[in-house]
Amino acid sequence: MAGGAREVLTLQLGHFAGFVGAHWWNQQDAALCAPSEAAAPPAELCPDVLYRAGRTPHGRETYTPRLILMDLKGSLSSLKQEGGLYGDAQLDAAIAWQGKLTTHKEELCPKNPYLQDLRSAEGVLSSDGIWRVRSIPSGKESSVRVWSDFLRVHLHPRSICMIHKYNHDGEAGRLEAFGQGESILKEPRYLEELEDRLHFYVEECDFLQGFQILCDLHNGFSGVGAKATELLQDEYSGRGIITWGLLPGPYSLREPQKNVFRLLNTAFGLVHMSAHSSLVCPLSLGRSLGLRPEPPVTFPHLQYDATLPFHCAAVLATTLDTVTVPYRLRSSPVSMAHLADLLNFSGKKVVTAAATIPFPLVPGQSLPDALVQLGGPAAWTPLSACGGPCGTRCFALSVVLRGLDGARHTSRLAPGTALPSPLHACTTGEDVLAQYLQQQEPRVRSSAHLLLAPCNVVPPYPRLFSPSLSQHGLVLDGSPPGAAVESIPVLGALCSSSTLSQTLGDLARDLSTLDVRRWASFLDAGVEQADVEEALEELGSLAQCYRGGDSLTD
């Protein structure tokens, strides 16, 4: 049991969601295993929110993610569906059976040769006496084809739910369309399997606060997500449901059917999941949800390859690890439902995400200095394919800044020194951050959290960072430090803003220009022309929500 924690059950739906989820769980595991000083205060984040304690049939204690994961046949590579922590379920069943036994063995997928040490004790003993896993060589990161190649966390046997009727690889039997995904959870086999797993995890919770869903938006898993959120809303009314709609990196005009399906799946997914979720946030390193491709977003101190899901997912997982802090706090947490209430008033259920990765801090600099130098939200990198925040109106805002030690929270100017800004007069870091938000977005509903704990970026997190960063993510002048970056400060934000009016409106306009009858395979999957027209109308209504005022002062 979670001992008073407000538990969250995570659902991962789709293969790119698996990539983001693998990085997310690796970061949680790194935080759990991070060495701490004897005099250190209790951890600010409560891992029991996301993890469950258990015991194997042989009496071994376990601590595994409270997770249900759905993916397609061929997506697990060498990972067993039941995981490796509780033994082989098929072997146990065979031992119990006393009759004649015939064994048919399927050829095993070979482990990625560059990643085999991730599941072994192989690593490097560093100068500080800590055993560290070797990082994946930069030139070999393209060899990461599936999320299971780099997942370091053991999963419970009830976590992985495979959809065998569709293939992960190949041209045939793909889960491409929203209607296909919806139909999966209309089949008794898959619906009952999901319900059984939900009941298993939910019934052992003492104070379940809700569900966080990581779901592919660009493929047929958007339909799976739509039915899953509908099921959760029907069966667990009153619980928070926060859905993260995930899209991989940029796309090419050379694949017209893929692009049209991506547009249709995204539109249907946003409409249906926003109807059944407390909050929906698209997450992408692209700049557009529509048909016109645009270059991916950039970060001053990150060097990533937008064509690699391994890279894109790492950046999005770091964002998630930051913006979800409010409902994972050990002390005075903000529940998922309350976070949603802050951001989704007046029907504004879709929000955007932005981040500064890493938060730019130089040695000797205080938080007031860094915020003055950073500027306002226009300096944050938008991560919802909704363009930048410039010229938009913010209705509600939740900001988390993490990874700054307490000595940096306030100004250390000598008495009598002229204050460079009002931020330098604040006496606590929390006041500094609150004052900063008040300056940048006056009279806006906002919530701010300041944490000492950084984001952990140890291997197998990819080596994305500028050589000018220190081991703990500080921006250095002069020669590179040489040591690999292991943790970073991050600023993350969720925002309800008027930029969504244009984004959702543009999505609706792109949808209206399509002659969906040309893409018969999308309609054959179970979607009718009337459904397209209804989605178009719903998108227009969603866009309208962000055109008016409805802020605290209107």
pLDDT tens by residue, 149-159: 999 999 999 99
Residues 6 or more apart whose Cβ sits within 8 Å of residue 340: 240, 242, 278, 279
Which one has a higher pLDDT value, 456 or 1? 456
Rank 39-53, 99-113, 247-261, 349-363 by mean pLDDT and report only the highest.
349-363
In angstroms, rounded to a whole number, what is the distance separating the alpha carbons of residues 419 and 413?
A: 8
3-state secondary structure 391-451: CCCEEEEEEEEECCCHHHCCCCCCCCCCCCCHHHHCCCHHHHHHHHHHHHCCCCEEEEEEE
Which one has a higher pLDDT value, 106 or 229? 229
Phi/psi at 161 (5° precision): -120, 110
Whether 136 shows a pLDDT value over 90: the answer reads: no
Whether 227 shows a pLDDT value over 70: the answer reads: yes
pLDDT (tens digit per residue) in 374-400: 988 878 999 999 866 555 788 999 999
User: What is the band of 41 on the pLDDT scale with cuts at 50, 70, 90?
Assistant: low
Strands 394-402 and 490-497: antiparallel
Mean model confidence pLDDT for the chain: 86
Residues 6 or more apart whose Cβ sits within 8 Å of residue 67: 9, 10, 11, 12, 21, 25, 155, 156, 159
Quote the percentage of the chain above a pLDDT of 90.
65
Phi/psi at 87 (5° precision): 90, -175
User: What average pLDDT does the segment 327-331 reach?
Assistant: 95
Strands 8-13 and 210-216: parallel
Q: What is the pLDDT of residue 552?
A: 46
Whether 126 shows a pLDDT value over 80: the answer reads: no
Q: What is the pLDDT of residue 135?
A: 67
User: What is the band of 541 on the pLDDT scale with cuts at 50, 70, 90?
Assistant: very high
pLDDT (tens digit per residue) in 186-217: 999 999 999 999 999 999 999 999 999 999 99
Helix then strand count (H, E) for the chain reads 13, 17
Whether 2 shows a pLDDT value over 50: the answer reads: no
Whether 439 shows a pLDDT value over 70: the answer reads: yes
Which one has a higher pLDDT value, 124 or 202? 202
Quote the percentage of the chain above a pLDDT of 70.
84
Q: What is the pLDDT of residue 93?
A: 44
User: What average pLDDT does the segment 511-524 reach?
Assistant: 87
User: What is the band of 111 on the pLDDT scale with cuts at 50, 70, 90?
Assistant: low
User: What is the band of 140 on the pLDDT scale with cuts at 50, 70, 90?
Assistant: confident
In angstroms, rounded to a whole number, what is the distance separating the alpha carbons of residues 240 and 277?
A: 8
Whether 222 shows a pLDDT value over 90: the answer reads: yes
In angstroms, rounded to a whole number, what is the distance separating the alpha carbons of residues 80 and 155?
A: 10
In angstroms, rounded to a whole number, what is the distance separating the alpha carbons of residues 236 and 61?
A: 29
* End-to-end Cα, the chain, rounded Å: 45
Q: Between 256-276 and 499-513, two packed helices, what is the crossing angle to 10 degrees?
A: 130
Could you tell me if 269 and 217 are in contact, meaning their C-beta atoms sit under 8 angstroms apart?
A: yes
Q: Using only C-alpha atoms, what is the Rg of the chain?
A: 23
Q: What is the pLDDT of residue 131?
A: 41
List the alpha helices (DSSP H) in 2-117. 15-33, 89-96
DSSP letter, residue 43: P
Whether 133 shows a pLDDT value over 60: the answer reads: no
DSSP string, 186-246: TSHHHHHHHHHHHHHHHHT-SS--EEEEEEESSSTHHHHHHHHHHHHHHHSTTSEEEEEEE
Nearest to 121 by CA among 106, 132, 135, 136: 132
In angstroms, rounded to a whole number, what is the distance separating the alpha carbons of residues 189 and 183?
A: 11
Whether 492 shows a pLDDT value over 60: the answer reads: yes
Nearest to 376 by CA among 217, 455, 512, 493: 493
Q: What is the pLDDT of residue 379?
A: 84
User: What is the band of 57 on the pLDDT scale with cuts at 50, 70, 90?
Assistant: confident
Which residue type, as a one-letter code, is found at position 3? G
Nearest to 64 by CA among 43, 85, 36, 88: 85
User: What average pLDDT does the segment 221-241 reach?
Assistant: 97
Q: What is the pLDDT of residue 401?
A: 97
Q: What is the pLDDT of residue 5?
A: 84
User: What average pLDDT does the segment 548-554 reach?
Assistant: 50
Whether 104 shows a pLDDT value over 70: the answer reads: no
Q: What is the pLDDT of residue 37?
A: 57
State the Cα angle at 472 between 247 and 285, rounded to 5°: 15
Whether 106 shows a pLDDT value over 60: the answer reads: no
Whether 531 shows a pLDDT value over 60: the answer reads: yes
pLDDT (tens digit per residue) in 157-170: 999 999 999 888 77
User: What average pLDDT does the segment 58-66 reach?
Assistant: 92
